[in-house]
């Protein structure tokens, strides 16, 4: 069930009033929202509802067992059991084909024929996201940062449909406490919710889909058939497409949750205005960045143990983060580029005699330009189907100038400019727009929303493509 569809609109128009009617009755509300979330998830494939239910029961049982034990060794074994169950499921559905193919290729290099047959396994939508949330819950209970919630609250937390299939990755302490007291509809920030949904729809349906259908899919689908200019613009276009697609989805998700009375953490903060790769990861998919920091980088040792161990931990975190995004070596290469850049930046700052230069407008502009180029270089591997396609794209940048560039149109350049330029708007502008919208009479608000939806529908391509992050 996609957000920008009539099916979801009908679903949400039924869920929203019933949710508020049942809100004062905590257990009944939780039962209703869990059922609604499973109906939402069944819209993709009803069979995977059993997988979601299993994840809920598995992690709740282990969280309760960990909390009940005082023996440190027993708690560690229970934590290992909980994590193993989550990771085995994730590995089976997401990586079994990748591991078999990689094993076959490795043995083929030494002339050994291994009769391992890659199996075609359907990837459950959103499995990476709700698995990471489940792991956060169990680990927080183990660390003593969070007491186990009741089964109903945990089930509502893990299955809550606004974040279920593509995030943001909401931590237990950020959402479960909100279930403890009924939300008050009088204090719902509807202006912010509608602004988030409206901007999300625009970024997804208009910007992301336009770039995908008018240049990105063609360039990455057949790299050797396009000019250097088309390839260059196509790479930048993909950088904007994936931002607009994911930023748009999370804006819609945050807005929908807000209409239901719940607050999700922000997931993006103008990442293409970053002045370094470290700054980029403070702004891009921030809920994943914090998850990787708190549940992977710090347990690996973080900054402890000296520079070499810190570099190792940074690289491992980014390599695993790359593999999390997709079962392919191109995703590992994407992670390696970011990891190398993070290590390089840290080494540069830690070298003897380093002195931080004063920040000037020209210096910041140069840093932003370089950071964006590194990010887009990594996007080449992230989007390409194979290394050969990625190298072909890079080669075309140096060998195919002067050829016809029909895909580089005014509409494509405008969409790229809007996607990047929107990240340099004054931070107060959205607040001013929301404040003015909130002061309008209800009929005027309805008219503005109707006009905005019609404009998005008119400017968007035919049909709605699935969100990119659904497959991660």
Tokens of 203: 């970024």
Residues in contact with 347: Cβ distance below 8 Å, sequence separation at least 6, in sequence order: 307, 311
| DSSP helix/strand/coil, 435 | helix
Torsion angle of C-alpha atoms 388, 393, 399, 405, degrees rounded to 10: 140
| DSSP helix/strand/coil, 147 | coil
Catalytic choice (163, 226, 285, 325): 325
Q: Which of 268, 290, 271 is nearest to 133 (CA)?
A: 290
**210 included as an active-site residue:** no
Residues in contact with 29: Cβ distance below 8 Å, sequence separation at least 6, in sequence order: 19, 22, 23, 182
Torsion angle of C-alpha atoms 204, 208, 210, 215, degrees rounded to 10: -170
Tokens of 456: 């998005």
| DSSP helix/strand/coil, 403 | coil
Residues in contact with 328: Cβ distance below 8 Å, sequence separation at least 6, in sequence order: 98
DSSP class of 124: P
Residues acting as catalytic residues: 325
């Amino acid at each position: 069930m996609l957000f920008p569809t009539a099916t979801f609109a009908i679903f949400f128009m039924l869920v929203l009033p019933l949710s508020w009617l049942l809100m004062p009755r905590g257990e009944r509300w939780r039962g209703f929202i869990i059922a609604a979330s499973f109906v939402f998830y069944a819209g993709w494939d009803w069979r995977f509802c059993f997988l979601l239910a299993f994840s809920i029961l598995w992690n709740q049982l282990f969280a309760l067992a960990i909390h009940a034990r005082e023996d440190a060794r027993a708690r560690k074994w229970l934590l290992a059991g909980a994590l193993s169950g989550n990771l085995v499921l994730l590995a089976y559905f997401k990586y079994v084909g990748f591991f078999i193919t990689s094993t076959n290729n490795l043995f083929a290099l030494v002339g050994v024929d291994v009769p391992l047959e890659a199996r075609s396994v359907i990837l459950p939508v959103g499995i990476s996201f709700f698995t990471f949330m489940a792991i956060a819950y169990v680990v927080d209970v183990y660390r003593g940062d969070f007491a186990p919630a009741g089964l109903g609250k945990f089930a509502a937390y893990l299955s809550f449909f606004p974040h279920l299939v593509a995030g943001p990755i909401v931590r237990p302490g950020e959402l479960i406490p909100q279930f403890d007291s009924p939300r008050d509809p009088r204090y719902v920030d509807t202006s912010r919710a509608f602004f988030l949904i409206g901007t999300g729809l625009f970024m997804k349906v208009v910007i992301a889909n336009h770039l995908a259908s008018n240049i990105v899919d063609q360039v990455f689908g057949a790299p050797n058939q396009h000019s250097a200019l088309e390839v260059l613009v196509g790479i930048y276009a993909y950088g904007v497409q994936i931002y607009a697609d994911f930023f748009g989805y999370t804006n819609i998700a945050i807005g929908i949750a807000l209409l239901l009375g719940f607050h999700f953490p922000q997931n993006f903060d103008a990442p293409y205005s970053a002045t370094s790769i470290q700054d980029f990861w403070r702004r891009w998919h921030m809920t994943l960045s914090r998850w990787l920091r708190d549940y992977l980088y710090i347990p690996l040792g973080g900054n402890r143990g000296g520079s070499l161990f810190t570099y190792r931990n940074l690289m491992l975190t980014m390599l695993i983060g790359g593999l999390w995004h997709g079962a392919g070596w191109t995703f590992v290469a994407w992670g390696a580029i970011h990891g190398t850049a993070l290590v390089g930046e840290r080494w540069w700052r830690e070298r003897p005699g380093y002195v931080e230069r004063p920040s000037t407008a020209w210096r910041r502009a140069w840093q932003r330009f370089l950071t964006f180029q590194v990010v887009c270089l990594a996007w080449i591997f992230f989007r390409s189907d194979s290394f050969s396609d990625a190298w072909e794209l890079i080669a075309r940048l140096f060998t195919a100038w002067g050829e016809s560039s029909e895909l580089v149109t005014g509409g494509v350049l405008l969409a790229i400019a809007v996607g990047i330029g929107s990240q340099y708007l004054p931070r107060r502008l959205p607040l001013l727009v929301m404040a003015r919208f909130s002061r309008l009479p209800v009929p005027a608000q309805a008219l503005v929303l109707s006009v905005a939806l019609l404009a998005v529908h008119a400017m968007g391509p035919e049909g709605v493509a699935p969100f990119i992050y659904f497959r991660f």
